[in-house]
Structure 1
Amino acid sequence: NTEGMPIEAVYDGVHDGGILGEGITGSVRLITHKKTGIQLAVKRLDLVRVADDRHLDRLLDEIKIMCALDHPNIVCLEEVYEGDSELYLTQELCKGGDLFDRLDEQPDYHYSEAECARLVKQISSAVAYLHSKGVIHRDLKLENFLFQDERNDS
């Protein structure tokens, strides 16, 4: 079970929503900020599942890097909260699905040349930005490219 303690137990400024996805170290849920109504995604990382101190240090380094990134094609890490045995990473909400699913929905499983060029330009821009900051992603795959919303140009 990757649900764990809800973020409301750590930060009462949000309403906890449904699960958006699950991973090895935790779940991603929808949250809504109580005062502003802004929806975000919160990734709950179960620190009990982190193998050892070396892996924990690597995870904390990744979070520090994410906090320093500012690029229009990279999901923004908004805030980090710490519970007794978990971390909560609040990020901008991307409601448009991932590139794998979008490609699967296309006729004959491909985009037009113009659409491909637009996507490759955005992906290349994000990767070049990461490299300019000395960051290597190490997990570039279609499932990790998210769209802000359902629009084709998001």
Structure 2
Amino acid sequence: MQDIFLSDANATAALGARLAQRLPAHAVVELHGDLGAGKSTLARALLRALGVTGTIRSPTYTLVEHYPLPAGGMALHLDLYRIADPGELEFLGLDAGEIRLWLIEWPERGQGGLPPVDLKIELEVEAVGRRCRLQPASAVGEAWVAGLNHP
């Protein structure tokens, strides 16, 4: 596990860029934290660093936003806070075949209906910034986090 203090939006953007530089061929990321902890902010920073242009919307009301990645494949940003049952995921049209990156907020609400997780990111408000914990959950996640420490 890696523990990082994000002092401001620039630190969050820098973490997003580091994650983007080492993005595996396919990755599933769970974003954990209370409302306002910075889950969508980090997801947006990562998507920007991957080259997504235009508006990056929070999926709070749409539940899922699709983003074509310039390097190929698709990124999905899901916010499952408003679903009541994991069975509702089948109505979201999630085609795992073309998805390179899954960014999932409130993943516990989709338990059993989501692909296996590679990296869990826990965010919490701390003083004037955020505390971020990166916890690998697979061999892919372990290699990804280990690569963050190497240029």
Q: TM-score category by the smaller chain? A: under 0.3
Q: TM-score, normalised by structure 1?
A: 0.27
Q: Relative contact order (alpha carbons < 8 A, sep ≥ 6): 1 or 2 greater?
A: 2
More strand by share: 2
